[in-house]
Amino acid sequence: MTEFICSFAGINVEICALFPSTKEFCRDYLTDGQAAFMVETAPEDIAYERATSDQTAVAEGRKPYPFSDNYLETLAVYRKLAAGLSAYDTILFHGSVIAVDGEAYLFTAPSGTGKSTHARLWRELFGARAFMVNDDKPLLKISDSGVLAYGTPWDGKHRLSRNVSVPLKAICLLERGVENEIAPCTPADIYPNLLGQTYRPKETEAMIRVLHLVDRLAQGVPLYKLHCNMDPSAARVSYEGMSGKSAAEGKQ
């Protein structure tokens, strides 16, 4: 058993892992602080993750992939982490968060739609003004004063993230389209998508907390729908539509 403490979304969590590789996976988030709660994995958690992965592959018509136990433990940790952090007004979200000039924008969509590609277009457009907060599973801390987006080590196949927090300016539902068009939408328009992309714990109390937090998220952050192609102009259209600023100058 490997024991260590990490800081996620400003909350210190003790992790008791089966494999030393899990500590290495979380190395950018290690801390010496006192833990608020503990996450512990067991062999049955690895078995659950493998069964879930296999079932998903079969449902999607794919051959199950023989993931290592080390990798599956990282999935078990984030599931337990998400349940625990819900008590601290924080949810684990599936999406790409990019920051420009100190403000974060979250793109969400089903896997394969083009979130990471669209985020790359932003990085190409803004250069040093932009960086990835997290390209797969950011944490969102929700408060009465706004929402903060945090990096995590669960950052997608390209491993794009930073151990930072950035105020979340907007959430954008990404959809494929012939033309690049963006428009504001209501919580009712996007709520099923937000809920579907939020990790929902199995534990009843944690699930209730997460549902309440998703409601607050939908009400507390401007929401948009973007129909886009993969032309570089898509980044300019989406940024200017959400920020109200010129992409070229970063000014009102």
Domains and CATH numbers, the chain: 2-88 (no CATH), 91-243 (3.90.228.20)
pLDDT in the model for residue 248: 80
pLDDT in the model for residue 114: 76
pLDDT in the model for residue 249: 65
pLDDT in the model for residue 147: 98
pLDDT in the model for residue 109: 83
pLDDT in the model for residue 102: 95
Low-confidence ranges of the chain (pLDDT < 70): 112, 249-252
Give the Cα-Cα-Cα angle 224, 226, 228 (nearest 5 degrees): 170
pLDDT in the model for residue 205: 94
pLDDT in the model for residue 251: 45
Global pTM?
0.94
